[in-house]
């Protein structure tokens, strides 16, 4: 099995339901875990044309995070996961979105959404 991980992508997003969250963007950390469909150990050629280009995964996460105000982390994670699962060769994935330093007594709050490609 092949996997791709993008860990703690830092984005500024308008997310949340509290008054201060409605007024200003805040940093989020987005992590993607992608499980690829079974295939050969090595690509046919040493070329991006024969693998899943993780730049697309990163761009999708950024696009969704910057698309406008979102109330819930679950919504953002779900939208990113839908895009992730539509990529060619993806069999499953997990998207985790963290609000760091949201409370003074913890490092952050993370919501994770996992899904499997129905194809």
pLDDT at 42: 65
Distance of alpha carbon 55 from alpha carbon 67, whole angstroms: 18
Percentage of the chain exceeding pLDDT 70:
95
Pairing of strands 3-13, 108-116: unpaired
User: For residue 111, what are the β-bridge partners?
Assistant: 97
Please check the confidence at residue 119 and state whether its pLDDT lies above 80.
Answer: no
Q: Look at residue 101 in the predicted model and tell me its pLDDT.
A: 84
pLDDT of 76 > 90? The answer is yes
The reported pLDDT for the residue numbered 118 is 82
Residue 27 backbone dihedrals phi, psi, to 5 degrees: -75, 135
**Average pLDDT over all residues of the chain:** 93
10-61 per-position pLDDT tens digit: 999 999 999 999 999 999 999 999 999 877 766 777 777 678 889 999 999 9
Q: Cβ distance 35 to 48 under 8 Å? A: no
Specify the pLDDT at position 41: 66
Give me the pLDDT at residue 46, please: 73
Q: How many CB atoms lie within 10 A of CB 77?
A: 25
Q: Residue 104 sits in which domain range?
A: 3-116
Find the mean pLDDT for residues 69-86: 97
CA atoms within 13 A on the CB side of 72: 7
Place of tokens 């913890």: 106
Q: How many domains does the chain divide into?
A: 1
In this structure, what CATH number is given to the domain that contains residue 31?
3.30.1130.10
């Amino acid at each position: 099995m092949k996997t791709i991980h993008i860990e703690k992508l830092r984005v500024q997003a308008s997310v949340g339901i509290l008054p201060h969250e409605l007024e200003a963007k805040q940093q989020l950390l987005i992590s993607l875990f992608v499980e690829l469909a079974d295939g050969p150990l090595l690509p046919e050629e040493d070329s991006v044309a024969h693998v899943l280009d993780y730049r697309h995964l990163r761009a999708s996460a950024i696009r969704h995070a910057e698309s406008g105000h979102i109330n819930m982390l679950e919504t953002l994670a779900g939208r990113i996961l839908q895009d992730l699962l539509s990529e060619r060769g993806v069999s499953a994935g997990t998207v985790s979105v963290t609000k760091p330093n949201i409370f003074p007594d913890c490092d952050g709050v993370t919501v994770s959404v996992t899904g499997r490609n129905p194809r």
